[in-house]
Amino acid sequence: MLTKELAIFDFNGLRIVPDRLVRKRHARYLEYAAGMCDAYGTGIGMTRRELHLAVHRIFDAEADCPPARIDAFCKLLDEERVARYQTDRAGKAAALRQKVCRLAAPCHPLVDERTVLFEHAEKETKEEIARQLGRASWEEVERELFADVFEFNRLLSFEGYDSPEALLARYNVAQVQAALFNATRLTVHAGTDFRRIVTHAKLARLLHTITLAQRGGRRNVYTIVLDGPASVLRETRRYGASMAKFLPALVSCTDWRMRAELMIGRIRRPFFLEISSADGLHSPMPPQEEFDTSVEEHFARKWGGRRRKGWLMRREGGILEHGQTVMVPDFVFHHKDGRMAWLEIVGFWTPEYLQAKVEKLKLFNEEPIIVAVAEGVARGFHYASDNVMFYKKALRLDAVQDALERVARKSVAGHATGS
């Protein structure tokens, strides 16, 4: 991702328009992109600073190019998944500096021209130190002296982008991400890819509120509002980075539109940014982020990706609908023999919340849903059903397996099961 400083966007009233390179207006950029990839491809062994200079030079004559755009390209070319730089984990450069400075210390100060009092001239002393270190010349020593400094890191390999277009596509998504660093809330209207979108929002650890916005024959539209725990206390950009991280996943889905509320600087005005799947942004599907430590994530990690006693667990759960009420259980399980069941985890909340949850579960009481309830709230959870199981701190795998055998049913054709 880019950093905040590299974000470029325009204002159109209250609308934020992130910088975007388009075929028509920026035809020359395809050439530049090829040139940049080439500079890196042929620049193995060069320092980061030299490579960045080379990139800057490509744009020398270009009229339409804010400096931040060039810096943003450098940042994208340096990204870990495409470029690998030499690192100095062992601290070789630091050790060399220490040796050099210790050898030079008795000769301090190194003077331009020797005098009676100060007899250590810079040039001779340096050559002498190089000799003592067993090097051919001082230049050789100096070249390695700061090899561990970020801008002097040398490029080891460059995987590059599949095509110049791919780099430009990455740039366009990266600029939307950079604008989203300022986001306080996202509202996504999702159609066919609703499940994947919710799953990725969960993985980005954003809080989500879902409503069924519009019922269609073959396609329902859901409204998903995404923010974080502290969002209810104040407008905060704290979750902007998570929202930016979530964007590539959203972009790789279809049939959605999104509106972000943004806070720019300390200006108290409701800025916003809108994009949709029709905007032609492209991104490869990002790998699933590492799980956090909540009960759900802990359980998901423990269960893993393989079949346990025939049961396969997936996080992209199904959608259950009843009127305007939508429920997205945390997990869905499928057995080899065609049976399936859902798992919903109920954490520690208020009586009101639990009551709402119970009401919701009653609507879906025909469904094979296992409800895992934290023991601490069992008292407030009045839902008589064989499908309820209790847990203390973490869900036990064998307990869930037993419940699955008890609750699961053959999946009904035409049912949204997420498979």
Partner 1 sequence: MYMVWCMNDAAGKLVIRFDRGTLVLEGMTRDAAAATLAGGYWTWDARAGVLRCDALHYDDAVRALHDAVPSPAGAAAPWPEVIWPRVQLPPLREDQAAALDAWMRTRRGVVVMPTGTGKTEVALRIMHALSVPTLVVAPVRDLMYQWHQRIADRLGYDAGIIGDNIFNKRPVSVTTYDSACIHMQEFGGEFALLVFDECHHLPGPVRADAARMSIAPWRLGLTATPERSDGRETVLDELIGPVVHRYTLAAARGRVLAEYDVVRIPVYLAPGEQAQYNECSFLIRHHMAERRKAAPGFTAIDLHKESGASPESRKVIQALRIKQSIEDRAREKLRVLEDLFRLHHGTRTLVFTGTNVMAREVSVRFLVPCLLHHCRKKERKDILDGLRQGVYPAIVANQVLDEGVDIPEAKVAVVLGGLASVKQAKQRLGRILRKTGAERAILYEVVCAETREAMRSRQRRRSDAYEGTRHIRL
Site residues for partner 1 per CB under 8 A: 8, 60-67, 69, 91, 94, 97-98, 100-105, 107-112, 117-118, 122, 125-126, 129, 142, 145-146, 148-150, 207, 209, 228-230, 232-233, 236-238, 266, 294, 347-353, 356, 376-377, 379-380
| DSSP, res 3 | -
Residues 6+ apart with CB under 8 A from 130: 136, 137, 138, 140, 141
Pairing of strands 339-346, 369-374: parallel
> Which lies closer to partner 1 via its Cβ, residue 8 or residue 251?
8
To the nearest whole angstrom, how small is the minimum distance from the Cβ of residue 217 to partner 1? Answer: 30
To the nearest whole angstrom, how small is the minimum distance from the Cβ of residue 393 to partner 1? Answer: 10
To the nearest whole angstrom, how small is the minimum distance from the Cβ of residue 311 to partner 1? Answer: 27
Going edge to edge, which strands form the sheet with 183-190? 9-12, 15-18, 271-276, 256-262, 183-190, 221-227, 207-214
Write out the two tokens for 34. Answer: 């090829």
> Which lies closer to partner 1 via its Cβ, residue 24 or residue 218?
24
> Which lies closer to partner 1 via its Cβ, residue 372 or residue 404?
372
> Which lies closer to partner 1 via its Cβ, residue 79 or residue 142?
142
> Which lies closer to partner 1 via its Cβ, residue 68 or residue 312?
68
Answer for the pair 295, 395: CB distance below 8 angstroms, yes or no. yes
Write out the two tokens for 95. Answer: 């050790």
Q: Strand, helix or coil at 276?
A: strand
How far is the C-alpha of 272 from the C-alpha of 274, rounded, in Å?
7
Pairing of strands 325-327, 331-335: unpaired
> Which lies closer to partner 1 via its Cβ, residue 69 or residue 335?
69
> Which lies closer to partner 1 via its Cβ, residue 30 or residue 378?
378
To the nearest whole angstrom, how small is the minimum distance from the Cβ of residue 25 to partner 1? Answer: 12
Alpha carbon distance, N-terminus to C-terminus of the chain: 32
To the nearest whole angstrom, how small is the minimum distance from the Cβ of residue 93 to partner 1? Answer: 9
Q: Residue 48 belongs to what H/E stretch?
A: helix 48-58
To the nearest whole angstrom, how small is the minimum distance from the Cβ of residue 246 to partner 1? Answer: 16
CA 191, 194, 197, 198 dihedral sign is positive
To the nearest whole angstrom, how small is the minimum distance from the Cβ of residue 332 to partner 1? Answer: 23
Nearest CA to 189 out of 251, 249, 258, 260 is that of 258
